[in-house]
Amino acid sequence: MKAHDYRSCDLCVCVCVFLIITTAKTAILFIQPQYNISTMSADGEVTLYLYGWKDCATVVFYLCITIILHAVVQEYVLDKVNRRLHLSKSKNTKFNESGQLCVFYLVSSLWSLYVMATEGYLLHPSSLWENYPHVHLRFQVKFFYLTQLAYWFHALPELYFQKVRKEEILRQLQYISLYLLHILAAYLLNLTRVGLVLLFLQYLSEMGFHLSRLFYFIDENHHKMFEMWSIGFVLTRMITLTLMFLAVGFGLARSENQTLDLEAGNFNTLSIRLLVLFVVCFTQSWLLWKFFRFQLSRTRELRLEQVARKRVAAKQQMQRTLKRDSVGHYENGLIKAENGTSPRLKKIKAP
């Protein structure tokens, strides 16, 4: 699909949604998060939010906004860079993917870090599991989760808009589905605090990978950033597993209220905790397995390349040696024999 066709599809989808929203009396349902309640605190009256089925409308609206922003980044940033780099078709697709994800990961990382700092999660790590269930969310926390869901849901129609190759669709569907699964689980099970920290770690790690890939496409001699990312990737898996066992395996397990209560939003039961730990551990183990398998295959390929280069160099050296031995070698314009002496010149008799 050409660029103008791609933008036309985006515009058609978004215009239809905007027409519905602007002509309906429930426009506020799509734009503003719902289920707000007002409570009194030490700082005065505070507005908090719950979750419900009306959040789907808000997600749809911001999904359309995300499609527009995606097209803007593609047209005014990535396409201009692509014209200068003159990449192949396969590299061009990967460059666009990494460019889009770098922008998203950068914004989401900074946003989640700001939320963690203002909510006090960094200074008080025990707040990640204390006073569970965390059913009352501040505006910035709920809006963050809604926009995250909107982005990853928007990635599904983008597979069609961008005409992704069939062999790439399965790979992209895997990580899109994993993100949606984990974000929805954290949002619906009222594990938003732990989920926010885990998303920050994951986005930071993935941003390092896609930045490394962008620099590699610009200059193929950039390999050190991949090495730095490899260390950060393994550390991120270890920190994620440690944090999950600390918060869910120990923190919530010591809570007094461990009964399933759907109305109160309490999902702190042994079976649910084990299920959450299993899903997270399985995902992290699967990511580590893919990572180590790629590293081993890459190391094997590098070794084969080195062996092939040594063979070619040895063959060329042997050819040079044979050629030199067959014709001798010259010194001061005279042919030298193997013992280093010059052959005796034949005297020509004068006529």
Q: What is d(CA 18, CA 30) in angstroms, rounded to the nearest whole number?
A: 10
User: The pTM is what?
Assistant: 0.82
Q: Which residues of the chain fall below pLDDT 50?
A: 1-4, 330, 337-338, 340, 345-351
Q: CA 52, 56, 57, 62: dihedral to nearest 10 degrees?
A: 120
Q: What is d(CA 316, CA 227) in angstroms, rounded to the nearest whole number?
A: 33
Q: What is the pLDDT of residue 1?
A: 44
Q: What is the pLDDT of residue 86?
A: 80
Q: What is d(CA 174, CA 256) in angstroms, rounded to the nearest whole number?
A: 37
Phi, psi angle pair for 206, to nearest 5°: -70, -35
Q: What is the pLDDT of residue 5?
A: 52
Q: What is the pLDDT of residue 258?
A: 86
Compute CA distances 236 → 104, 186, 230, 286, 306, whole Å: 19, 19, 10, 14, 32
Q: What is d(CA 31, CA 134) in angstroms, rounded to the nearest whole number?
A: 24
SS3 182: helix
Compute CA distances 264 → 13, 148, 152, whole Å: 38, 25, 28
Q: What would the pLDDT profile of 128-171 be if each residue is shown by its tens digit?
A: 999 898 999 999 999 999 999 999 999 998 888 887 888 888 88
Closest Cα to residue 185, out of 130, 244, 140?
A: 244
Q: What is d(CA 290, CA 284) in angstroms, rounded to the nearest whole number?
A: 10
Give the start-end residues of each E strand in the chain.
36-41, 44-49, 329-331, 334-336
Q: What is the pLDDT of residue 17?
A: 56
Structure tokens belonging to residue 258: 């461990």
Q: What is the pLDDT of residue 8?
A: 52
Q: What is the pLDDT of residue 3?
A: 46
Where do we find the tokens 């010194």? Answer: 331
Neighbours of 263 (CB within 10 A): 5
What percentage of the chain's residues is helix, strand, coil (to nearest 5)?
70, 5, 20
DSSP string, 224-289: HHHHHHHHHHHHHHHHHHHHHIIIIIIIGGG-S--S-BTTTTB---HHHHHHHHHHHHHHHHHHHH
Compute CA distances 58 → 22, 65, 100, 255, whole Å: 14, 11, 23, 33
Helix axes 3-23, 139-161, angle to 10 degrees: 140
